[in-house]
Amino acid sequence: MLETWLDPASIAIVLVGTIIATLLRCGLADSRVAISALRGLFETPFNVTQAKAALSVQIREIADDGFLRAEPQHFGDNEFDSLSDLIISQRSIQSLHGEHHKFKEVRVATAQTAIRVFDNAAELAPILGLAGTLIALGHAQGSASEQTGIVGAISMAVVTTLYGLIAANFLFSPLGNAIARKSRREELDRDEVLEWLEHGIRKSGVAVTYAEHAKAVA
């Protein structure tokens, strides 16, 4: 019974065929983005607590020493490392949101590209399943004189169709949805940290910063 449902030829037709068809439809660059996003599902997500703990050092330095003497604090996150550099170099928090928006646009565009690739794969998988069905039925016609050949071909036709539906609804579509959920969660978390950082700097030191800066210029 198990051998009936585990058909390597059907799996190859559906999965390999879907991957090739998706690559041809979406292109190599977008497919690479999708693979990178797929790997990202298994990596450690953005950690709000860790980010706040690292950035609290930056806030304390600005509160204690002001923008003029504070040093940028990096903790390995490209966006917030860049924002720390921006805060110190410009001695201002006014441009934080603009810089954050640039990083956000890139992340969202990347996620949307990956989602589109997996949505295309989910659309193509049943078509490849149907293609496998037609191949199997064509083989059945050629084997009409042999009862075993007919049964085997019909079995392959059914299994290939099933694999196409399973690949679309239990593999490619869920992967696209998982990338979308991860992207939404990360953007919400990053927005939260940005608001926390801005509030912390304003509360602790920005009020005296402009006086410091004016004094230094004078």
- The number of domains in the chain is 1
- pLDDT value of residue 208: 43
Structural domain boundaries, residue 8: 2-217
What is the rounded CA–CA span in Å between residue 155 and residue 198?
A: 63
Q: Report the percentage of the chain scoring pLDDT > 70.
A: 83
Nearest-10 Cα torsion for 90, 93, 94, 100: 100
* Highest mean pLDDT: which range of 6-15, 106-115, 156-165: 106-115
71 contacts 53 by C-beta, under 8 angstroms: no
Confidence grade of residue 95 (pLDDT, cut at 50, 70, 90) = confident
Q: How many CB atoms lie within 10 A of CB 39?
A: 9
pLDDT surpasses 70 at 104: yes
H-state helical runs in 70-172: 78-90, 96-142, 147-167
